[in-house]
Chain A
Amino acid sequence: MRIPCPFCGSRDSREFVTRGDAAPTRPDSEEGMFAYVYLRDNPAGALEEWWYHAQGCRQWLRVSRNTRTHQVSGAILACKGGAA
């Protein structure tokens, strides 16, 4: 699996650490905390995820990847609008 890092170019996935689903956003109140921490859509297909380029530019990326095929269709820097 190769991830197209916007800063470093196409790199092997072993340079990255995965954080998982980018969809959950931290709620302001305690209400919704349970769903944020524990519940996942876990889709079979397109998924937006956080990956950290630990052995590269050390940037957080928002990666679009298909969980059925492992095909990575794109990545943007979290600091450039990828962050929720």
Chain B
Amino acid sequence: MRYSILNLARQAWRGHTGWGRAWRDAAPRDGYDVVIVGGGGHGLATAYYLAKVHGITNVALLERGWIGGGNAGRNTTIIRSNYALPGNEPFYEWAMQLWEGLEQELNYNAMVSQRGVLNLFHSDAQRDAYARRGNAMRLHGVDAQLLGADTVRAMAPFLDFDNARFPVQGGLLQERGGTARHDAVNWGYARAASALGVDIIQNCEVTGFLRDGAGAITGVETSRGAIRAGKVGLAVAGMSSEVAAKAGLRLPIESHVLQAFVSEGLKPLIPGVITFGAGHFYVSQSDKGGLVFGGDIDGYNSYAQRGNLPVVEDVCEGGMALMPMIGRARLLRSWGGIMDMSMDGSPIIDHTPIPGLYLNAGWCYGGFKATPASGWCFAHLLARDEAHETARAFTLDRFRTGHLIDEKGVGAQPNLH
């Protein structure tokens, strides 16, 4: 059923008893043209664009638990396209453009809110670096504004501007950035993909791969039986190494835990997304009023979906240094997600050396904002066997050839990206 004012009025008249399921909870069939492993935002978006853009509807999406139950439900919901490097910026800007039309496209309220992303700088050197990044963005046709301290003060008067160690000197603002509702993104894609004929299969864990005599992938073994597939796409960030290992692949990825936090609900306070430039701290306010914030990854390999106290302390110290008033708010919840930390801090959307197996991985802790473009480009790769023009740099063999996309410039040290 299409969601509209008219249908809302009709259902209200009938006491809201006529709403159907948003999407079909399908049982696996014997075979599909394409099987996508992973029911997070990226997998769901891939399934949707395969059906919508490429007309491939004989598609199954397999999810070990329930859709949106992994990192898609464990992020801080920030969307932005403020990258500097040519390999990254066109891709993230494509994601931003897809975000801007997402709700009309999916007929689903994803609560995309372009409230702006403000990256603060605290020194002359940092101002130069941010000016350079802003210029790189503008050269790619993306909005970016370098603001002085006075403008920032008018936007966010509660910041500790005259902090003796880290005075706020200004910020780089992307007005089109903001936040989106993560659960709604997953459900919107699931509903739209399901309506086009995609089978979304939950509680179906991939336990191995079916191979032909030459070694090519011909399907997957799952906890609900074998499923044949013309092509198999992995979109299981966090668990990429574990799943790829079942096909005998080693990846340039380590899994790390990233924690996020939310405070009690407060009155409207924070105008958009604000990031601290002197430590690692970023904060926005949800529509329910909670301050949603986070910082660095814990730094050691982890699959535990929970972190430890040193980083909790570090993040809260960053918050106190930036906006001392945050000390009066109570911390309500914290959680951890498993990040696919790649060796250069950038993602992979590419063929694998194994025929029939395609990889979408290595999103570090920036995967949520990429969701629509990740799905768009992965679907393009699966359907046409060639990289989408905005994702050509995200190859798996770039680590071998030296064409790294190292936005932060820290080298093959995944816990520093």
Nearest 8 pairs of A and B residues by beta carbon: A42-B241, A44-B303, A38-B252, A38-B399, A14-B310, A39-B250, A18-B300, A67-B301
B interface residues (Cβ-Cβ under 8 A, vs A): 239, 241-242, 245, 250-255, 299-304, 308, 310, 343, 399-400, 412, 414-415
- Can you give 17 A-B contacts (C-beta < 8 A)? A13-B310, A18-B299, A18-B300, A18-B415, A34-B399, A34-B400, A38-B399, A38-B412, A39-B251, A40-B251, A40-B253, A40-B254, A44-B239, A44-B255, A44-B303, A68-B304, A69-B304
Q: In whole Å, how far is A41's beta carbon from the nearest beta carbon of chain B?
A: 7
The answer to whether A42 and B308 touch (CB under 8 A), given A67-B302, A67-B303, is no
Which residues of chain A from 1 to 59 have any CB-CB distance to chain B below 8 Å in the complex?
A: 1, 12-14, 18, 20-21, 34-35, 37-44, 47, 49
Interface size on A, residues (CB 8 A): 24
Contact among B250, B400, B412 with A41 in the assembled complex (CB-CB below 8 Å): B250
A interface residues (Cβ-Cβ under 8 A, vs B): 1, 12-14, 18, 20-21, 34-35, 37-44, 47, 49, 65, 67-70
The answer to whether A42 and B300 touch (CB under 8 A), given A13-B308, A18-B415, A35-B250, is no
Please name all residues of chain A whose beta carbon is closer than 8 Å to the beta carbon of B253 when the two chains form the complex.
Answer: 40, 42
Q: In whole Å, how far is A72's beta carbon from the nearest beta carbon of chain B?
A: 10
Q: In whole Å, how far is B339's beta carbon from the nearest beta carbon of chain A?
A: 12
Residue from the set B250, B253, B300 with the largest chain A CB neighbour count within 10 Å? B300
Please name all residues of chain B whose beta carbon is closer than 8 Å to the beta carbon of A21 when the two chains form the complex.
Answer: 254, 301
Q: Report whether B301 and A49 are in contact in the complex, using a CB–CB cutoff of 8 Å.
A: yes
The answer to whether A42 and B412 touch (CB under 8 A), given A67-B301, A67-B302, A70-B302, is no
Please name all residues of chain A whose beta carbon is closer than 8 Å to the beta carbon of B302 when the two chains form the complex.
Answer: 67, 70
With A and B bound together, what is the CA distance between A38 and B252 in angstroms? 5
Please name all residues of chain A whose beta carbon is closer than 8 Å to the beta carbon of B250 when the two chains form the complex.
Answer: 35, 39-41
The answer to whether A20 and B399 touch (CB under 8 A), given A42-B241, A69-B304, is no
Beyond A38-B399, A39-B250, list 19 extra A-B contacts (CB 8 Å): A14-B310, A18-B299, A20-B254, A20-B301, A37-B399, A38-B343, A38-B400, A39-B252, A40-B250, A41-B250, A42-B251, A42-B253, A43-B241, A44-B303, A49-B300, A49-B301, A67-B255, A69-B304, A70-B304
Contact among B252, B299, B304, B400 with A40 in the assembled complex (CB-CB below 8 Å): B252
Please name all residues of chain B whose beta carbon is closer than 8 Å to the beta carbon of A43 when the two chains form the complex.
Answer: 241
Please name all residues of chain A whose beta carbon is closer than 8 Å to the beta carbon of B300 when the two chains form the complex.
Answer: 13, 18, 20, 49, 65
